Structure 1
Amino acid sequence: MKNIQLGLKENWQQFTLLVLVNMMVGGMVGLERTVVPLVGTEEFNIQSDIVVFSFIIAFGIVKAFTNLISGVLADKYTRKKVLIWGWLVGLPVPFLLAFAPSWNWILFANVLLGVSQGLAWSMTVNMKIDLVGKKSRGLAMGLNEAAGYGAVGLTALLTGYLASHYGLRPEPFYIGIAYTIVGILLSIFLVKDTRKHAELEAAQIQATTSGEEAHKPNLWWVFKQTSFKSKNLFSISQAGLINNLNDGMSWGVFPLLFMSLGVGLEGVGWIKAVYPVVWGVGQIVTGPLADKWGRKPLIVWGMFIQVLGHIVIGMEILDPLTAGLVGSVLLGLGTAMVYPALLAAISDAAHPNWRASSLGVYRFWRDMGYAIGALMAGIVGNFFGLMWAVHIAGIITFISGIVVWVRMKETLEK
C-alpha cells in the first residue's frame, strides 16, 4: 500500500478526471431524453405508449443486470478495465440512434447503452468512493452525480434545440459521437485503477456503522443482504428503485404529455432539461450536506419533495409549460437530495471488502426502476391517460419515503 493515500485532497487529480469522464457517460443518456420518444411516435408512427416506452424498459433492465455484475467484474479485472469495456460497448450507440431504419434498431441501441452505462457509470462511482475514503463520501457522490446528471440535462436541452431547428434525426445525435471518443481516450490513457485504495480502507475497518463485517462473501450473499436481510440496505435499495421509477416515468411520459398539452418542442426540451440539471447541480450542495446532517434526513425529505413535484405537474390551474417547469424543478431538487445520500449510505453500511458488489446490487434495484417506471407509465397511460401515470408515481414515492422514515437508521458515523 506504499504511496497510496485516501482522501479527496490527496487524490484530486484523478478525482477531477473521473468527474470529467462521468460527464461524458451522463451525456450519452441525455441524448435520448427529449428526442427518442418523439422519434417513436412521429417517425415510426407508434401509437401504443408501452411500445414507445419499450426503449426505456430495455435500457433499464439491461443496465440493472449489468450493475449487478459490475462490482464482481471490477474485483476480478480492475475498475479501469471495466470502465474501458463500458465505453467500447457504447461506441455504436449514437450512430444507431441517428440512422436506425426501424424501431428494433433503436431498442438494440438501448441494450448496448444499458450495458455501457452499467459498466462505465458503476466504475466512476466505485473509483471515486475508493479514492476519498469514508470522510467525504457524500461530497464525492454529489460531485460524481452532479457531473453525470448535469450532462444529462444539458444534453437533453441541446438535443431539443437541434431537433427543433434541424429535425429529429440525425443531427441531435452527433453530440454522442464526441462523447464516446473523448470518454474512451481519457479512460484508456489517463485514468488509473483504484482497487488498491479500496484494499487500504478495508484493512482499516473491521465492521461498518451498520455492523456489517469484513469477510469475502459471494454475490448471492451480498444480493440477499442488500435486497432484504439488512433493514438499512433494504430501505436504501427500495428508495433508489422508486426514485428511478420517477425518472423512467418522466423520461417517456413528459415529451408526449406536454406535446399533447400544446407545449412546443423547445418547451419540452426545457422541461426535460430542468429536471436533471437541478438534480445534477443540486448535488454539489446536497452531497456535502449528507456528510454534515446525515443520510436519512435528505433521503426522507427528498422523496417528499418529489411527491410535491408530481402534485404541481397535475395542477390544472397552471398552464402546462409552467406546471412542467416548476414540477421538474421540484423533482430535480428532491432527487438531488436523495441520490448522493443513498450512495453514501450504501457505502457506509457495506464493508469495503464487498462494497463494490453491494453497490452493484443497490444499483441493480435502483435502475430496475427505469424499466418499472416506464412499464407502469405505459400501462396506466394506455388505460387512464398519461397524467394518471404521474399521479400513480407520486403516490408510490410517498409510500417509499415513509418506509425509509420508519425502517432506516442513520448510517453516518458521528
Structure 2
Amino acid sequence: MTVPEDTTAPAAEGPGGIRLGLRANLAQFTLLVAVNALVGGTLGQERTVLPLLAEGVFGLSAYTAALTYIVAFGATKAVTNFFAGTLSDRFGRKPVLVAGWLVALPVPALLIWAPSWGWVIAANVLLGVHQGLSWSTTVVMKIDLVGPERRGLAMGFNEAAGYAAVAATAMATGLIAARHGLRPEPFLLGAAYTALGLGLSVLAVRETREHARAEAARHPAPANPEHHGELTTGEVALITSVRDKALSAASQAGMVNNLNDALAWGIFPLLYAAHGLPVGRIGVLAALYPAVWGVGQMLTGWWSDRVGRKHLITAGMLLQAVAIGLVAAGTSFPVWAAAQVLLGAGTALVYPTLLAAVGDVAHPAWRARAVGVYRLWRDGGFAVGALLSGVLADLYGLTTAIWAVAALTAASGLVVAVRMYETRPCPRP
C-alpha cells in the first residue's frame, strides 16, 4: 500500500509509548485493510446471485418478497452496529472483530443448501451481524491508529478495500454463475474469505483501544461542553442523531446513501434482467458501481483531509441522484454502465467523508459509540431502501421506484448543504 507523503509533525507519543499516526502503525493498518477487504468479499458473494435466486429458483415474483433478505440484512446490521461500538469500548476491539467472523462461518453453507427462502433470510441475519461487528470494528481500529491528521485517508483506504472486494466478488460470482449455475460454486468464495478473515483476526490483529485512550489524554476540550468526556450511550445517541447539526446531517445522509445501495443491490439486477441482459453482463454492472466507489475512496478520503468534508458530501449526494435517474431513464448496457460509474463516483465522495466527519466531531472517549450510532442510521438504510423500493416497484413498477429514490437522494444532499457545518475546521493546503 502506498502512503502519501506525510508533511505533518512526527506521530505523537502517548502514555505507555503508544504512537498515533499512519506511518507509526503502518503494519497493523495494512493488515486491517486486508481484513476489511475480506469482510467486503463476504458481502459481495450475494450481490449478483441472490436477486436472481429469488426469482429463478425460489419463484418470488413480488419485488417486496424478493427483497426480504436485504431487509433482514440491513435491520440486523444496523442494530449490531449500535452495539458494536459499545462492546468495543467495554471489551476491546479485537474480541468484537473475532466474534464477527465466528458469526459468519455458517453463511455460505446456508446459502448453498437453502431449501426455502427462509434459510436465505436466516443467512442474511447472520451476515448482518457479521458485517455490523467486523466492518464497524475495522473502522474504529483504523481511526484509533491514525489519529486526527489522517482520518479521512484512513477511512478512504478502509472503505476502498471493503467495496473493491464487494465489486470483485460480485463480478467473479456472476462469471462463475454463468458457467456453473447459481449454486453452489459462487458461494465457495465466501467460505474461503471467512476462513482467512477469522485466521488473520485471531492470529495477527492487535488490540487498538489504548491508542484511543492515548488520543483522549491529549485531546483538546471542544467548544461545546456536551461533546466532552464520559457520556452515557443514550446521550451519545441523542447527540449523534439529533442535537449536533453535523452528526445528524451525516446520519441522514448515511441512511439515504445505503438506501441507494439497497436499490442497486436488489432492484437494478431485476431491471437489467427484465430488459434481457444475460447473467454475465448483469454481473459486470453489479460490480462496476462498487468498483468505482471502492477505488475512488482512496482519493476522496485523502481529499477531504485537505478541503474539508461538507462540500464533498453535498456534491456526492447530488451526483448519486443524477446517476440513479440515469438508470431509470436508460434501456441499454452502455447507458447503465455510465450510470454505474457516476453512482460509484458520487458514493466515493460521500462514504469515507461521512465517517471522517463523525470522527472529527466525536470525542475519543465516546467516538466508538458515535460511529456505532451513525452506522445504525446508515445501515438502517438497507432495510428502508429494500422496503421502499420493493413496495413502489410492486405498486408502480421498477422505473417509478428508481425515480423516487433519485428524488429522495437529491433532497438528502440539500439537507447536508443547509444543516451541516464544516467539521474539519483547518483543512490542510
Larger displacement relative to structure 2 (211-220 or 250-259): 211-220
- Residue 419 of structure 2 aligns with an amino acid whose one-letter code is R
Percent same amino acid at aligned positions? 50
CA-CA distance at 1:98 after TM superposition: 1.2
Pick from 41, 44, 64 the counterpart of residue 55 of structure 2.
Answer: 41
CA contact (8 A) 1:126 1:356 kept: yes
The DSSP-based 3-state class of the residue aligned with 1:50 is helix
Task: Give 2:371's aligned residue.
Answer: 359
The DSSP-based 3-state class of the residue aligned with 1:46 is coil
CA-CA distance at 1:135 after TM superposition: 0.1
Task: Give 1:223's aligned residue.
Answer: 237
CA-CA distance at 1:47 after TM superposition: 1.1
Q: Counterparts of 1:4-403 in structure 2 under 5 Å?
A: 4-208=18-222, 213-316=227-330, 319-403=331-415
- Residue 356 of structure 1 aligns with an amino acid whose one-letter code is A
CA contact (8 A) 1:60 1:367 kept: yes
Q: Residue by residue, what CA displacement relative to the aligned partner does 1:312-333 show, whole Å, maximum 9, x if unpaired?
A: 11224xx421222111111110
Whole-angstrom distance in 2 between the partners of 1:120 and 1:246: 22
CA-CA distance at 1:51 after TM superposition: 0.8
CA-CA distance at 1:250 after TM superposition: 1.2
CA-CA distance at 1:214 after TM superposition: 2.3
TM-score by length of 1: 0.98
Whole-angstrom distance in 2 between the partners of 1:215 and 1:232: 19
CA-CA distance at 1:348 after TM superposition: 0.4
Q: Residue by residue, what CA displacement relative to the aligned partner does 1:264-318 show, whole Å, maximum 9, x if unpaired?
A: 11111011000111000000110100100100111000001101101211224xx
Question: How many residues of Structure 1 are paired with residues of Structure 2 in the alignment?
Answer: 412
Which structure 2 segments of 5+ residues have no match? 1-14
Whole-angstrom distance in 2 between the partners of 1:201 and 1:238: 28
Q: Residue by residue, what CA displacement relative to the aligned partner does 1:362-407 show, whole Å, maximum 9, x if unpaired?
A: 0000000001011111100001111111101110000000000011
- Residue 206 of structure 2 aligns with an amino acid whose one-letter code is K
The DSSP-based 3-state class of the residue aligned with 2:59 is coil
Whole-angstrom distance in 2 between the partners of 1:170 and 1:346: 40
Task: Give 2:11's aligned residue.
Answer: none
Q: CA RMSD in A?
A: 1.0
Whole-angstrom distance in 2 between the partners of 1:107 and 1:213: 39
Which structure 1 segments of 5+ residues have no match? none
Q: Residue by residue, what CA displacement relative to the aligned partner does 1:151-173 show, whole Å, maximum 9, x if unpaired?
A: 00110000000000000000000
CA-CA distance at 1:210 after TM superposition: 6.7
Q: Residue by residue, what CA displacement relative to the aligned partner does 1:53-85 show, whole Å, maximum 9, x if unpaired?
A: 000000000000000010110011110000000
- Residue 210 of structure 2 aligns with an amino acid whose one-letter code is K
TM-score by length of 2: 0.95
- Residue 168 of structure 2 aligns with an amino acid whose one-letter code is L
- Residue 4 of structure 1 aligns with an amino acid whose one-letter code is I
CA-CA distance at 1:216 after TM superposition: 1.2
Cα 1:100–1:209 change in 2 (3 A) is: farther
- Residue 104 of structure 2 aligns with an amino acid whose one-letter code is G
CA-CA distance at 1:213 after TM superposition: 3.1
Whole-angstrom distance in 2 between the partners of 1:113 and 1:2: 37
Cα 1:313–1:211 change in 2 (3 A) is: farther
CA contact (8 A) 1:157 1:272 kept: yes
